[in-house]
Amino acid sequence: MSASVTRTGAAGPDRRRRLVAAGVGNFMEWFDFAIYGFFATAIGANFFPSSSPTASLLSTLAVYGVAFLMRPVGGFVIGAIGDRRGRRFALMLSVVLMGLATALIALLPPFAAIGVAAPVLLVLLRCVQGFSAGGEWTGSAAFLVESAPSDRRGITASVIPMTAALAVAVGAGSALLIQSAVAPEDIVGWGWRIPFLAAFPLTLVGLYLRMKLEDTEVFRELKARGDIADAPIRAVGRSGGRNVAISFALSAITVLGFYYIATYVTTFLTVTVKMDRFAALVVVAVGALLYAALCPVMGALSDRVGRRPVSLIGGAGLAVFAVPAFLLMATGNPVVAVLGLVLFGIFEAMHNSTTTVMLIELFPAHMRSTGSAIGYNLGAALIAGPGPLIAAALAAAGAGVGLPAVYMAGVALVCTIILWRVLPETRRRDLGPGEQRGPIAAPTPDNATTRS
């Protein structure tokens, strides 16, 4: 059934408070994830000591990927909580879990002090972070998109990838500051712990802001109608399988691309290209800031022309330009490297901004938090999670500086071909209770660009 009901969303001041609350919490979540990547070498030396720096780095990145295995679990649990207890409650839970795990990582003794217990505890805390992240992205998106006017859902949802990118830029800035102020041996000894500890106050700010908000009008309507799903996971299994599969393909591209920017590019520039670490961090910080600026532009574009065309162009662009972008970065020239990162970021912003809003528009209200979290996090765990490790291993094989981007290009190509066949246009769908009870139809010549 086509629906084009116009929802005005939350009032202006309340909408701004919601944007700030979701944005600050989301920033904190992804700052925590980003700094792990920026300090991967120091973390590896502390928890995975080895005579080979490459082996230590690969072990650290493997733990980074292990956290992604917990994301579907977090998606199942926190997503279901969002559908049963409310979007606001789920967001408070995710921000607390992430903040506590990050602070505890900062306090962990190294391998030299407690032996094998050190990497074991690191893995467990990374799993808590992955569990938390499994509910944050789609939870924040659901909260914002359900609160937005129907003609501004794309630009509103873009706050999520934009704040995640800002977190990467600030994480890189933190690494620059620590590198400038702390001796190299002290960075390995204790300097890497500073940003992990500094993230904890952001947890308190994010929690406070989220506690001050009401839940979304959509969830309040669901509750008033007695339409809260008793078993949202079962509801997704009965009627949401197709849209979970679409969400999987969308997130496989989006999350993999984002974690190339957030985690792997720094490793690529310093380890493979041999760029000075200070210059590499500047490149990543500048590139992430420019990418952040692109996200609302692409979100607004999808509000005007539709999600489907912007998403497909973004995916196709990553398939075609991922390798050339890395070849530009491989020149070792910081200016050219920024251009390469921006080339990559243009198409990643197109795909990420549209994915974030479509994850919410694909599912009916009573299973929205659960369905979007499951599809998103399965793609993140199975395809994107191993991405930095696979890219680093490809680079270590020494078969060409563009090789690490081949995995990105291949995933983007395969998923974009699939999405071209099955991705519907969701821009005009009503998000209220009682709508979208069945799966969205696959695109046809009649509905590929207009069906909503």
Alpha-carbon distance of 417 to 443, in angstroms, equals 13
Q: Give the residue, 29 or 329, on which the prediction is more confident.
A: 329
What's the pLDDT score for residue 232? 83
Q: What is the pLDDT of residues 396-405, one digit of tens each?
A: 776 677 888 9
Alpha-carbon distance of 300 to 206, in angstroms, equals 26
Distances (CA, A) of 130 to 33, 351, 450: 9, 22, 37
Is the Cβ–Cβ distance between 369 and 136 less than 8 Å?
A: no
Q: What is the pLDDT of residues 68-119, one digit of tens each?
A: 778 888 888 998 888 888 888 888 888 888 888 888 999 999 988 998 898 8
How many residues does the structure list for the chain?
452
What would the two tokens of residue 44 be? 């590896």
pLDDT at 351 over 90: yes
Alpha-carbon distance of 212 to 13, in angstroms, equals 13
Backbone angles phi, psi at 423, to 5 degrees: -75, 120
Q: Which of 101-105, 312-316, 356-360, 448-452 has the lowest mean pLDDT?
A: 448-452
Percent of the chain past pLDDT 90, that is, above it, reads 36
pLDDT at 12 over 70: no
pLDDT at 2 over 80: no
What's the pLDDT score for residue 346? 97
249 burial (CB, 10 Å; 0-12 / 13-18 / 19+) is buried
What's the pLDDT score for residue 74? 86
Distance from first CA to last CA of the chain, Å, rounded? 8
Alpha-carbon distance of 178 to 278, in angstroms, equals 10
Residues 6+ apart with CB under 8 A from 186: none
Percent of the chain past pLDDT 70, that is, above it, reads 89
Is the Cβ–Cβ distance between 376 and 137 less than 8 Å?
A: yes
Mean pLDDT in the chain? 85
Alpha-carbon distance of 217 to 75, in angstroms, equals 22
Residues 6+ apart with CB under 8 A from 219: 86, 87, 146, 365
What's the pLDDT score for residue 115? 87
Residue 274: count other Cβ atoms within 10 Å of its Cβ: 9
What's the pLDDT score for residue 327? 95
What is the number of helices (H) and of strands (E) in the chain?
Answer: 21, 0
DSSP string, 371-406: HHHHHHHHHIIIIITTHHHHHHHHHHHTS-TTTHHH
In one letter, which amino acid is 32? D
Q: Give the residue, 430 or 239, on which the prediction is more confident.
A: 430
What's the pLDDT score for residue 96? 87
Alpha-carbon distance of 63 to 50, in angstroms, equals 15
What would the two tokens of residue 3 be? 């629906």
Give me the mean pLDDT over the 189-218 stretch: 84
Give me the mean pLDDT over the 255-261 stretch: 91
Q: Which of 216-225, 259-268, 306-315 has the highest mean pLDDT?
A: 306-315
100 burial (CB, 10 Å; 0-12 / 13-18 / 19+) is middle
94 by DSSP, 3-state: which? helix
Sign of CA dihedral 377, 383, 384, 388: positive
Q: What is the pLDDT of residues 404-442, one digit of tens each?
A: 899 999 999 999 999 999 999 999 998 887 654 444 444
pLDDT at 383 over 70: yes
Q: Give the residue, 390 or 57, on which the prediction is more confident.
A: 390
What's the pLDDT score for residue 452? 36
What's the pLDDT score for residue 338? 97
Is the Cβ–Cβ distance between 254 and 138 less than 8 Å?
A: no
What's the pLDDT score for residue 425? 96
Confidence of residue 223 (pLDDT cuts 50, 70, 90): confident
Alpha-carbon distance of 41 to 11, in angstroms, equals 47
Give me the mean pLDDT over the 252-278 stretch: 89
pLDDT at 342 over 50: yes
Confidence of residue 254 (pLDDT cuts 50, 70, 90): very high
Q: Give the residue, 154 or 116, on which the prediction is more confident.
A: 154
Q: Which residue has the tokens 């009401």?
A: 214
What would the two tokens of residue 274 be? 């041999």
pLDDT at 6 over 50: no
**If we measure between CA atoms, which residue out of 88, 134, 69 comes closest to residue 373?**
134
Give me the mean pLDDT over the 376-385 stretch: 87
274 by DSSP, 3-state: which? coil
Q: Which of 181-185, 208-212, 278-282 has the highest mean pLDDT?
A: 278-282
Residues 6+ apart with CB under 8 A from 247: 358, 359, 362, 371, 372, 374, 375, 376, 379
Alpha-carbon distance of 139 to 141, in angstroms, equals 5
Is the Cβ–Cβ distance between 425 and 443 less than 8 Å?
A: yes
Q: Which of 26-35, 122-131, 231-240 has the lowest mean pLDDT?
A: 26-35
SS3 readout for 55-86:
HHHHHHHHHHHHHHHCHHHHHHHHHHHHHHCC
